[in-house]
Amino acid sequence: MPRAFPRFSGILGHRKGSGWGLCRRWLDRRDPRDLRRNSDSSSADESSDFEDILRRSVKKRPAKRPLKTTPVAKQPKKGSRMVRDHHQKESEPPASDLFDAVKAAKSDMQTLVDDWVDSYKQDQDAGFLELVNFFIRSCGCKGTVTLEMFKKMSNSEIIRHLTEQFNEDSGDYPLIAPGPSWKKFQGSFCDFVKTLVCQCQYSLLYDGFPMDHLISLLTGLSDSQVRAFRHTSTLVAMKLMTSLVSVAVQLSMHKDNNQRQYEAERSKGPGQRSPERLESLLEKRKELQEHQEEIEGMMNALFRGVFVHRYRDVLPEIRAICIEEIGSWMQSYSTSFLTDSYLKYIGWTLHDKHREVRLKCVKALKGLYSNREVTARLELFTSRFKDRMVSMVMDREYDVAVEAVKLLIIILQNMEGVLTDTDCESIYPVVYASNRALASAAGEFLYWKLFYPECEARTVGGRERRRSPRSQRTFFQLLLSFFVESELHNHAAYLVDSLWDCAAPQLKDWESLTSLLLEKDQNLGDVQESTLIEILVSSVRQASEGHPPVGRVTGKKGLTPKERKIQADDKVKLTEHLIPLLPQLLAKFSADAEKVAPLLQLLSYFDLKIYCTRRLEKHLELFLQQLQEVVVKHAEPAVLEAGAHALYQLCKPEFTFFSRVDFARSQLVDLLTDRFQQELEELLQSSFLDEDEVYSLAATLKRLSAFYNAHDLTRWELYEPCYRLLRKAVDTGEVPRQVILPALTLVYFSILWTLTHISESDVSQKQLLSLKGRMVAFCELCQSCLSDVDPEIQEQAFILLSDLLLIFSPQMIVGGCDFLRPLVFFPEATLQSELASFLMDHVFIQPGDLGSGDSQEDHLQIEQLHRRRRLLAGFCKLLLYGVLEMDAASDVFKHYNKFYNDYGDIIKETLTRARQIDRSHCSQILLLSLKQLYTELLQEQGPQYLNELPAFIEMRDLARRFALSFGPQQLQNRDLVVTLHKEGIKFSLSELPPAGSSSQPPNLAFLELLSEFSPRLFHQDKQLLLSYLENCLQHVPQAPGHPWGPVTTYCHSLSPLENTAEASPQGYPRSKKRRIKGPSRLNGEDTSPSREESLQLSSIPPTPTLTSTAVKSRQPLGGLEEVEAEEGLESEFTQGQRFSNTQRLRYSGPQHFRTPPNSSGPGLGSRLTRLSLMEEEEEEGLAAQDDSSEEWQETDKYSSPGEHRLDLLDSTELNIEAQQAYSKNGLLREELLVSRNGGWNKEIRL
């Protein structure tokens, strides 16, 4: 069995030493119950390194005591705090101001410790008690240890007494208390412990009294059930251990020096050898050996008594402290601590369930593997825990994953051949992670594994010389090979960004990149050329903009001045290099749309002023010529958009070359317009066009549409010919689809550019009416296109129509634009109906099952889902901005539950904002949605066994989700919920059965849907509704003695004595309430079981035994507040209902949730703020079934402080097997940023 401190084990087992004496004295002072508890705890660790030490029979060496002669008292230093009242009673502890001095941190720690040492030398007992009380007070305990307690009580009795005096107001104690002063105290506290050992290493450290008793007390405190004692004492013990390790290292160095001196003196000749010198060296060696034994004994006691038990403490902060400190011991004193018997603790804790502990483990291993001299001693540990270290690359916490990758980089550099190809291949995909820090770390790993061995820059004279072109070629060839052959991604921009921090000089070698692309005899394939162009564009963008690509998260808020200067210099360099070469690249790849589109994007990253300052106008002319050729040659949207944007960048009046660019633009548009007019006349005059003519006309329209999006082409008057074309398409249906789509977009842009030309200064009524007429005519065309047979035309018409209706809505006059009032347009009822019908037919359709996401079919489904979400968002905006009637929202809300995965976020946001606009109307819309669904189901299936159908169960789920959307504002929603119930009751009894029939009304099952809203009612309102239902049922004939099921279910949900959990019908999970034991009666009156349970929520728990630290009573947001809200406000209403004689609770809790008041004003934009809702705790069971964790994402921000209060009483140890099981099931996360089509994140959490 491995044994702790192998170098010391022989000493401890077979020699007399203060270490064993310290352990025995520590055990003698402990209470027998403490010994039993520690023995049970120790037995849990089967692999403990100290199992057999206590069984050894060794002699006890008495601790060293100070000299019996009375020491000469030193005079107090000037300004010293150690001026005491000598008339102070002996039984009282000295007045300790150590805590205040350390907290203030105004004086030097060395001076503070020196003052304490002086006071200790004057009075050992008083000085030691002052130090003990300092640590006790640092735990947050107001109690003190007196001299009488110290002499007469054991450590366990003292700790029990302090626990009883631990009377703090909150769960915070100095080590975790918030605020800058306490943060400063934590650092000063650790510095004090370190300085204490440093200043005492030549005096008090080897006096058996203070250190033995201090370690004994800390060991007992670290085993306390009070978290503050356990946390603080463990920190002190571990910092004390770290300081002792430093002393042991110095002693080891002194022993080595003494040995060398002794050998040197002994090797001298008989005439030169000095016996006195040899004798003094031997005495010095004996003294150093004794000191080392003392230190080793203390370290063994601390390790056995504290670390072995606390490294698996239930509190993650304590576990993190232990792992952090053992890592520092291994680094500073590797000869003793860097063994498998200690490394196993770090290896085991790699599976810890808490982020901070795993992070400390990885950082500790980084420090160990960074030292090449000790890596040979880590081979066994590496072989045992390598798989775990590699798997931590996929840790669910990004900072842990980043450190894990950095650890593997160090292993890769310092231990050759340890990481296999399989291990490396599991790290490569991380270069495409969404988190930039993680992706950059993986990029660095990739660089050291693949690129550095082949492209290492040789150094000459200590300076790195310029990389050779051959080395750069090798780098880009390896980069191409990795990107193409790995087939992990389709976007090289993320790979470039991952490598940017470690390989930026190579990636910014644009000369090598462009030379590779322009070579005639290159051996690059088509895919490699496209990839190399994408790498070029990505590196240029990264150097010019200085931020990662879209979708990659970075924590940096901005660039430093140094980074901004580097960015400006790089932008100038790349512009100067690429301006002459860009026309050549366009000329070479002009026939390939996939390659020419990214090349046109390069102009966006140039410093365009260099065209003027460096007299490069001739290259601008060449670029404009190539741009025109590319636009005329291609009709792909990506190429046309890139070309239009590049020309837009150049068409700025502040440039001196603006006139040249404007002339080139006019030439290009003239060419396209003339071609369009000619082809349009042929289309309008002839009844048949061949495929080439249709393609040519469609390509011309696409080019004009792309340029109309970025440039004002109003002077070319394209509205009239395009409108004629669309009118013919609507009237005759003879115009091809590929011509209609760009024509619609052209007319749309024409209207928008005309609107931008209207200003308040020179607006005329004629202009407004003309624009209004064009807009109305275009809306009519789009309305006609909604019924077209081609789905693409329908979708395009819907998108353009919804955008125009939103632009020309009443919102356009907000902000002082009253002169635009004549342009405001309200759609007719027929148009609104057609928009809603289109939504039902094209958005709320059941898609096919999505596979793994890698196939082409899956990518197509994802793109279609994107389009449908865009259509739904456009319709919802029309609802919220008042363009459409709000009642039309029922067509959206009724699909909330069924299509929650696809559109849940959009519908939820619409519902939230609709409630902000008008709460009453919104609740009526929710009821209308349920009515529509119920009526549809009734017409399809009939009234028989309706409530047993799966569709009806889905409706109940939807009603439950609607009920949760009201949030916890029960008082504010009271009238709304009552009205909803009354309207629902009316609907359920609106159609009566035939005369003489005993069958139930066809709509009666609707009451079961209403029962889902019953938990939102006050008890008195439930009785009112019961009376209302009874009155309504009196007019409905029914068979005597056979009550209808829906009525029974609804009445049960309205029972006043039923709590909200019992109101849930059978077959649905009941809500869970937090129960706190306490008195069940108030004022001596009997209460019913349900009332008794409700009252228990406000009771206060009894004080725990063995401590006076009372757990403060908490107010569960969904339990206590609900009971108070339902029962405590009865006196505020005038219904005069009779209740039981039970005394009611008054509603005195704070209003944790407030709904912003409705504001009425002309602009809805100011009112459309997000309303954060939160479901009550009573609905936890139902919410878990309905994914309510996504319903109310902002719950934590409203919870009361008591909800997050620390529980001071807990178990103190965790089972390491449970931690390992958790790590296997809960800590791995695989995340890939974007699928190969480029737009989606994919996360797999196991």
Q: Please, which residues have CB within 8 angstroms of residue 1052's CB and are 6 or more apart in sequence?
A: 1011, 1058, 1063, 1065
- pLDDT band at 204; cut points 50, 70, 90: confident
User: Do 382 and 419 touch, CB atoms closer than 8 A?
Assistant: no
Q: How far, in Å, CA of 211 to CA of 217, rounded?
A: 10
Range from 293-307, 546-560, 1094-1108 that averages highest in pLDDT: 293-307
> In terms of Cα–Cα distance, which of 1200, 1180, 1178, 1198 is closest to 1189?
1180
Range from 605-619, 677-691, 1143-1157 that averages highest in pLDDT: 605-619
Q: What is the mean pLDDT of residues 259-269?
A: 84
Give DSSP secondary structure letters for 964-990: HTTTT-TTTTHHHHHHHHHHHHHHHTS
Q: How far, in Å, CA of 646 to CA of 235, rounded?
A: 62
Q: How far, in Å, CA of 1004 to CA of 1038, rounded?
A: 12
User: Do 353 and 1219 touch, CB atoms closer than 8 A?
Assistant: yes
Look at residue 856 and give its three-state secondary structure: helix
363-386 pLDDT, tens digit per residue, is 999 999 999 988 889 999 999 999
What is the enclosing helix (H) or strand (E) of 356?
Answer: helix 355-369
pLDDT of residue 1087 exceeding 50, the answer is: no
On average, the pLDDT of the chain sits at 77
1121-1131 pLDDT, tens digit per residue, is 333 333 333 33
Which of the residue ranges 498-502, 585-589, 1191-1195 would you say has the lowest mean pLDDT?
1191-1195
**DSSP conformation class of 15:** S
What's residue 466's pLDDT?
54
pLDDT of residue 8 exceeding 50, the answer is: no
Q: How far apart, in Å, are the Cα atoms of 1131 and each of 412, 711, 1023?
A: 74, 68, 15
Sole residue written with tokens 């009519």: 780
- pLDDT band at 168; cut points 50, 70, 90: low
Helical H segments across 881-944, by residue range: 890-893, 900-917, 919-941
Q: Please, which residues have CB within 8 angstroms of residue 369's CB and are 6 or more apart in sequence?
A: 375, 378, 407, 410, 411, 414, 415
| 816: Cα within 13 Å, side-chain hemisphere | 3
78-101 pLDDT, tens digit per residue, is 344 443 444 343 434 443 578 888
Which of the residue ranges 65-74, 351-360, 424-433, 798-807 would you say has the lowest mean pLDDT?
65-74
pLDDT of residue 1091 exceeding 60, the answer is: no
> In terms of Cα–Cα distance, which of 696, 629, 637 is closest to 664?
629
- pLDDT band at 1141; cut points 50, 70, 90: very low
What's residue 817's pLDDT?
85
771-785 pLDDT, tens digit per residue, is 999 999 999 999 999
What's residue 1012's pLDDT?
93
Instruction: Decide which of 424 and 456 is more confident.
Output: 424
Instruction: Decide which of 237 and 1166 is more confident.
Output: 237
What's residue 861's pLDDT?
87
Q: Quick one: CA torsion of 63, 64, 70, 73, rounded to 10 degrees?
A: -100
- pLDDT band at 5; cut points 50, 70, 90: very low
Instruction: Decide which of 856 and 675 is more confident.
Output: 675
Which of the residue ranges 351-365, 636-650, 680-694, 970-984 would you say has the lowest mean pLDDT?
680-694
User: Do 901 and 861 touch, CB atoms closer than 8 A?
Assistant: no
How does 272-296 read in b/e, with b if 16+ C-beta sit within 10 Å?
eeeeeeeeebeebbeebbebbbbbb
What's residue 807's pLDDT?
94
Q: How far, in Å, CA of 41 to CA of 595, rounded?
A: 68
Strands 1229-1232 and 463-464: unpaired
pLDDT of residue 755 exceeding 50, the answer is: yes
Sole residue written with tokens 């080392």: 292
What's residue 1058's pLDDT?
46
What's residue 131's pLDDT?
87
Share of residues in the chain with pLDDT > 70 (%): 74
622-664 pLDDT, tens digit per residue, is 999 999 999 999 999 999 999 999 999 999 999 999 999 999 9
467-488 pLDDT, tens digit per residue, is 677 888 889 989 999 998 888 7
Q: How far apart, in Å, are the Cα atoms of 729 and each of 726, 736, 738, 794?
A: 5, 8, 12, 13
Q: How far, in Å, CA of 874 to CA of 867, rounded?
A: 11
Helical H segments across 602-657, by residue range: 610-613, 617-633, 637-650
Q: How far, in Å, CA of 24 to CA of 38, rounded?
A: 15
Other C-beta atoms lying within 10 Å of the C-beta of residue 433: 28
Q: How far, in Å, CA of 1005 to CA of 952, rounded?
A: 9
What's residue 460's pLDDT?
38
User: Do 220 and 30 touch, CB atoms closer than 8 A?
Assistant: yes
What's residue 152's pLDDT?
84
Beta bridge mates, 459: 464
Q: How far, in Å, CA of 962 to CA of 1070, rounded?
A: 18
| 655: Cα within 13 Å, side-chain hemisphere | 21
What's residue 1061's pLDDT?
35
pLDDT of residue 280 exceeding 50, the answer is: yes
978-1022 pLDDT, tens digit per residue, is 999 999 999 998 888 776 666 788 888 999 999 999 998 998 899
Largest CA distance in the chain: 137
User: Do 318 and 234 touch, CB atoms closer than 8 A?
Assistant: yes
> In terms of Cα–Cα distance, which of 1103, 1110, 1121, 1113 is closest to 1076?
1113
Q: How far, in Å, CA of 1199 to CA of 1120, rounded?
A: 13
What's residue 1040's pLDDT?
57
> Which phi and psi angles does 397 have, rounded to 5°?
-95, 125
Q: Please state the length of the chain.
A: 1246
What's residue 1188's pLDDT?
38
Instruction: Decide which of 860 and 926 is more confident.
Output: 926
- Phi-psi category of residue 1000: left, alpha or beta, with phi > 0 → left and psi -120 to 50 → alpha: beta
SS3 content of the chain, % helix, strand, coil (to 5): 65, 0, 35
Q: From start to end of 428-552, where are the E strands? A: 459-460, 463-464
